[in-house]
Amino acid sequence: MPPAEPAAEARGGAPLKLQTVEAADAAADERLFYGWVMAPLATLVMICSAPGQTYGVMFFTPRIREALGLSQTTMSATYLLATLCAAAPLSYLGGLSDRHGLKRSMLIAVAALAAACLFASTVQGGVTLFLAFVGLRMLGAGLLSLLATNTLAAWFDRRLGAACGIMQFGLAASMAVVPMAFISLIGAVGWRHAYAILGCGLLVGLLPLLVAAYRQHPREVGQLVDGVQPECLPRRRGWRLGASEAVDPPSMNLREAAATRMFWVLMIATSAWSLIATGLVFHLESLLGACQLVEAEAAWATPLMAGAMATVQLASAALIDRVPIRWMIAAALGCAAMACGMLATLSGSAALASYVVFGTGQGLMSVVSSASWAQYFGPAHLGRIRGTAMTVGIASSAMGPLVLGASADYLGGFGPALWACGAVGLLVAAGGLRGHDCGFGIADCGLDECALEEFGLAA
- The total domain count for the chain is 1
The model's pTM: 0.68
> Greatest CA separation found in the chain?
76
Q: Establish if 16 belongs to a structural domain.
A: no
For residues 171 and 126, the model is more confident at: 126
CB 94 within 8 A of CB 391: no
For residues 20 and 292, the model is more confident at: 292
CB 87 within 8 A of CB 171: no
Q: Establish if 119 belongs to a structural domain.
A: yes
- The alpha-helical segments, DSSP class H, found in 202-300 are 207-213, 254-258, 261-282, 284-290, 295-298
- The one-letter amino acid code at 151 reads T
What percentage of residues in the chain have a pLDDT greater than 90?
24
Q: Establish if 8 belongs to a structural domain.
A: no
Q: How many angstroms separate the CA atoms of 169 and 162, rounded? A: 10
Q: Establish if 4 belongs to a structural domain.
A: no
| Domain at 102, CATH number | 1.20.1250.20
CB 170 within 8 A of CB 152: no
User: What pLDDT does 166 receive?
Assistant: 79
With 90 as the cut, is the pLDDT of residue 323 above it?
Answer: no
Report the candidate in 45, 328, 299, 17 with the shortest Cα–Cα distance to residue 170. Answer: 45
User: What pLDDT does 30 receive?
Assistant: 52
346-361 pLDDT, tens digit each: 988 888 999 999 999 9
Greatest mean pLDDT among 24-38, 258-272, 307-321: 258-272
Q: How many angstroms separate the CA atoms of 163 and 153, rounded? A: 9
For residue 223, the SS3 value is coil
94-123 pLDDT, tens digit each: 888 888 888 999 999 999 999 999 999 999
For residue 31, name the pLDDT band (cuts at 50, 70, 90): low
Q: Establish if 11 belongs to a structural domain.
A: no
* 124-150: average pLDDT: 90
33-77 pLDDT, tens digit each: 898 999 999 999 999 999 998 788 888 988 898 899 888 788 888
- What is the span of the domain harbouring residue 248? 22-454
User: What pLDDT does 454 receive?
Assistant: 39
CB 369 within 8 A of CB 171: no
For residues 28 and 152, the model is more confident at: 152
- The one-letter amino acid code at 120 reads A
Q: Establish if 12 belongs to a structural domain.
A: no
With 80 as the cut, is the pLDDT of residue 243 above it?
Answer: no
